[in-house]
Structure 1
């Protein structure tokens, strides 16, 4: 949106919020709290009573808030920690939510092996179990082969073609199909789809789920991977494997995974899921940079390349693609990042 559009929407939001609370728009204490990778913006409304609320501005032409509202109601009814909805105007794209503060989980992480980091990840892993146990996937869109394929194809289109000007290796087609097949072989559960530390808010020492409007019915390992192979930490393979195995055991106990799903099978499925998500993110971050002119995303590409390489080490049948990453893609990425830094 242009600056004019943003200003116009802010004034409309101010008028709407004032009417909700029977306050004068001129005296309303409404300030920008955060933006995200979409067109949504979040504002903090400080009330005369001393309380506060978060107002979401989601322009209807770019953002459909109905999935967020539907999911928030269902998940909250299921006992999951999500912000309460206090008011809404879906035609205008305005929502009023609980104020969960300014502490996303990444601000609490102090290093890969720091006890605080590990403890928060244990809590976040427990919340995935709660999400999958309490929220059925039946009313969510399917994370099917077409969607998995579209996500994977962001890598050759945006990262290789549009940013690096490179062609895909011949080994891509087999890898792409195998990653889709592995994902579809897993049990279907509720998937947040961006279960990242930035979408987990810390409030009163408890984790709350936000930004869940893109939730789908999908593979049981997806949110696990989003957390363990995310933006902020690089865990050693042994720790990653222990967490994956503990997750498998709990999922078997709860009946979300068949008891016949052995450790080796689930470890491979988790690594394949991690490869799929890393390829997707590499494409998404380039698209955010090139199409949406967002800053700060190119710097995170090496993190997800590392995740991708680590995943492929556990999938030796794709050694050819892994060799291409090492010999061709990584040098090209590093050169392009260096050029981008020099240009700024």
Structure 2
């Protein structure tokens, strides 16, 4: 990030607070897979806020502001947006501290407890946020996401062709997603985008929210980057969410628990394939480091999902016999 941009955002923050910029302190507060960067602003009285720097040439912050204001008004736990300059790409937000959800995964009991808390937050999001104003997570978007896998992971990174069973899997996963009730979907409800602050679990990075399948955020959480649950553990957590969704009317009697679990496995396969493609794209196109090392974790998530979808056994066999060896060999070859 250029010093001129840091100077500009510091001056913008100072003007917003009516202060001399020399009285402000700015420190790095992290970044993410996009071009956004975050800084902690310390005011003269010791209070802090977060400045989001989202260069407008690469990032459109308008959806973040619109969704954030709407969800905040609905009583959802999201950071308040105190000021924004979309033309410059600067936003001033609540400081939610430095405790993302994964920092609490210190032992099995606490890990389960905090996943249950996050599942309750998904229910709160689905109950309070009207999906009508969000972009549709439709067949076209689901297909574009799935197609990241053959394009970026197979062709560009591994120089592999997709197997003959790919089209059947692709069609089946899209159909399973679209048969679910439509709700507000955060779309990256991974532990890293959930922050504990003042004994409340907050959502951040919600700019890509869509109106989509009921199970999507559940899968982002349970098949995320930090944990791998056994089949029984996964089913038990899904069951907890299912029972609450039934009680609150987001699922009807016509959807059995077994049917919903199968929908979750299909949604998990879709997301794992998308992530494999995205991580390869981040590496090859955006020159971002560290993402390839995470491929085996999401490959295991994919295998876990396919194991529960016997109609896609042919693709599962290809993953085990061709894809896994190819990924591991390519990773080994690229290790210094």
Say yes or no: TM over 0.5.
yes
What's the CA shift for 1:40? 0.6
Deviation at 1:9, TM superposition (A): 1.6
User: Equivalents in 2 of 1:53, 1:122: separation in Å?
Assistant: 29
What is the Cα deviation at residue 128 of structure 1? 0.4
- Partners in 1 of 2:94 and 2:224 — Cα distance? 26
Paired position in structure 2 for 1:53: 49
Query: Which stretches in structure 2 are left out of the alignment for 5+ residues?
Result: none
After TM superposition, the runs of 4+ consecutive aligned structure 1 residues lying more than 4 A away are: none
Q: How many corresponding residue pairs?
A: 336
Q: Is the 8 A contact 2:215 2:264 kept in 1?
A: yes
Q: CA deviation at 1:264?
A: 1.5
Cα distance in 1 for partners of 2:94, 2:137 equals 29
Structure 2 length-normalised TM: 0.98
Partner of 1:316: 310
In structure 2, what is the equivalent of residue 204 of structure 1?
Answer: 198
Aligned 1:189-228 pairs, distance under 5 A: 189-228=183-222
1:235 corresponds to 2:235: no
What is the CA-CA distance between 1:258 and the residue it aligns to?
A: 1.7
Aligned pair partner of 1:154 in 141, 148, 157: 148
Match of 1:306 among 264, 282, 300: 300
- Gap runs ≥5 in structure 1: none
Distance 1:85 1:277 in 2: 30
CA offset digits 1:112-162 (Å, max 9, x no partner) = xx1111111110010000000010100000000000000000000110111
Task: Return the alpha-carbon distance in structure 1 between the equivalents of residues 163 and 240 of structure 2.
Answer: 36
Q: How does 1:46-195 map to 2 (within 5 A)?
A: 46-111=42-107, 114-195=108-189
Q: Does 1:336 align with 2:326?
A: no
RMSD: 0.9
Indicate the SS of the match to 2:68.
Answer: helix
Q: Which residue is 2:17 aligned to?
A: 21
Q: Is the 8 A contact 2:28 2:39 kept in 1?
A: yes
SS of aligned partner of 1:138: helix
